[in-house]
Amino acid sequence: MPYPERSWHPKKLAGSKWTAVQPQQREKHFLVVALEVDDEDPQRVTRLTLEALLSKRQFSLHWSALEDTALWQPGWH
């Protein structure tokens, strides 16, 4: 899958809240706890780490995965 060229601004993405549309293992609410930025452009996010509020489990994914509204919604619902 080719990744989009656009990226989120680190200040807007860091600490943001997300809801999984289809929770697994009772994990529904997540926080962005870490960001990886492009070496050449520190304003460009490449990957991020989400942490589940319930279990504190962390996983990393490409920033564009959060744009898939079938999987993620911004905020907590």
Q: What is the pLDDT of residues 44-64, one digit of tens each?
A: 888 999 999 999 999 999 988
Domain count, the chain: 1
5 in a domain, yes or no? Answer: no
3 in a domain, yes or no? Answer: no
What is the model's pLDDT at position 12? 86
30 in a domain, yes or no? Answer: yes
Higher pLDDT, 60 or 2: 60
Domain that holds residue 15: 10-72
Q: What is the pTM of this model?
A: 0.84
52 in a domain, yes or no? Answer: yes
4 in a domain, yes or no? Answer: no
* The two three-digit tokens of residue 17, written as one number: 């809240």
29-56 average pLDDT score: 93
Q: What is the Cβ-side half-sphere exposure of residue 32, based on CA atoms within 13 angstroms?
A: 25
